[in-house]
Amino acid sequence: MKLNIALLPGDGIGPEVTAQAVKVLNAIATEFDHIFNFKRGLVGGAAIKKTGSPLPDETIKIAKEADAILFGAIGERKYDLDPNAKIRPEQGLLGIRKLLDLYGNIRPIIAYDDLLNKSSLKKRQIKDTNFVIYRELTSGIYFGDKTLSEDGNTASDICKYSRFEIERVAHMAFKAAQSRKRKLTLVDKANVLESSRLWRRVVQELAPKYPNVKVEYLYIDNATMQLIINPRQFDVILTENMFGDILSEEASVIVGSIGLLASASIGDKHAMFEPIHGAYTKAINKGIANPIASILSAAMLLDHFGLDDEAALVRKGVDKSIKLQITTPDLNTKYDNISTSKVGDFIEDFINNPEETNLN
């Protein structure tokens, strides 16, 4: 298969981790006779520095023309500390999501047996956790009208959803549930928010179309607690944009490191693959950034094109690196010198030679 992949490394540790994902995809291309062409674009703080815009036209063009996008990370500390900044790196990421209509964000949360002791939660609570969050990604409070009064003392962000926006991501989530454990949990705040009541109504109306899927409803406040107390109860969580952002970050506590969590952002015409972690600017060029989230995002890219054996091999490589503790310091206790690129090299070697790869 020939794929043109837009490579948008972005800020912070984005370039380091995506370099490992590219390494892994190149190994897959060689092993399985595919052609993966990468075209690089600037986004976020890196793009502001060079062009003044967090999402230059050239990047939009590259992203639109590609079969898929591999995204790194976004954000810079100086903007985090400046609430008055009019242009912000995050506008690059949000802009791509919106322009390419990437409405369904899929975030799998799987607890590795070998990492149960890395979580601050009890092993028996988290063992066998395997659920996926379907987060609506192009609407809600992130994209509703924003206002700031002239005197700067009053501000608002509108959380607005249309039936259409809810339906399309809900269908995605229901379908996913059908091919998993057939349970869907809608997380909302329908006891307070009108937009949440629309979510509930729409999901209740769609449910009969998926009679083999059990539907449950949870308020976001309860969901944040349930996720910690009993994460095994979940199969597919469906939720709006901001609740999904918060829940998925919380879920990283279960797996032991946010550096493990990958995501796919899917629309009808485009697809983007990105780790859920941020730019982690403190770690830039120290070789300590965990590339596994980016590598697993590349595996989700392979899934998207039906390259199942290829994706499975990448995941096996990740499993082996975790098993042998060839991982960065966020996870590692056995070795103290495993860098970002060493993890990438290991998984690359594994793909080239799955039977023989060990720590060398």
Binding site for ligand IPM (CB under 6 A): 74-75, 90, 93-94, 245, 276, 278
- Smallest distance from the beta carbon of 204 to ligand IPM, in angstroms? 27
CB 123 within 8 A of CB 255: no
Measured between alpha carbons, how far is 285 from 344 in angstroms, rounded to an integer?
15
Measured between alpha carbons, how far is 195 from 173 in angstroms, rounded to an integer?
19
Of 28 and 43, CB closest to ligand IPM? 43
Of 48 and 94, CB closest to ligand IPM? 94
DSSP string, 257-324: -GGG-EEEEE-SS-EEEEESS---GGGTTTT-S--HHHHHHHHHHHHHTT-HHHHHHHHHHHHHHHHT
- Smallest distance from the beta carbon of 106 to ligand IPM, in angstroms? 12
- Smallest distance from the beta carbon of 353 to ligand IPM, in angstroms? 34
Measured between alpha carbons, how far is 23 from 81 in angstroms, rounded to an integer?
34
Element containing residue 17 per DSSP (H, E): helix 14-32
Of 89 and 291, CB closest to ligand IPM? 89
Element containing residue 239 per DSSP (H, E): strand 236-239
- Smallest distance from the beta carbon of 348 to ligand IPM, in angstroms? 26
Per-residue tokens: 192: 């307070």
Of 298 and 338, CB closest to ligand IPM? 298
Of 75 and 104, CB closest to ligand IPM? 75
Enumerate the β-bridge partners of residue 183.
214
Of 244 and 317, CB closest to ligand IPM? 244
Of 27 and 283, CB closest to ligand IPM? 283
- Smallest distance from the beta carbon of 242 to ligand IPM, in angstroms? 8
Of 196 and 241, CB closest to ligand IPM? 241
- Smallest distance from the beta carbon of 258 to ligand IPM, in angstroms? 10
Order the strands of the 214-219 sheet from edge to edge.
35-40, 2-10, 68-73, 271-275, 262-266, 104-110, 130-136, 236-239, 183-188, 214-219
Q: Which single residue brings its beta carbon nearest to ligand IPM?
A: 90
- Smallest distance from the beta carbon of 74 to ligand IPM, in angstroms? 5
* Residue matched to tokens 């030679």: 353
- Smallest distance from the beta carbon of 135 to ligand IPM, in angstroms? 8
- Smallest distance from the beta carbon of 248 to ligand IPM, in angstroms? 6
DSSP string, 95-150: HHHHHTT--EEEEEEE--GGGGGGSSS-HHHHTT-EEEEEEE-SSGGGTS-EEE-T
Q: What burial letters (b/e) apply to 339-348, b meaning 16+ CB within 10 Å? A: bbbbbbbbbb
Q: Which amino acid is at 140?
A: G
Of 184 and 279, CB closest to ligand IPM? 279
Measured between alpha carbons, how far is 54 from 42 in angstroms, rounded to an integer?
8
Pairing mode, strands 2-10 and 68-73 = parallel
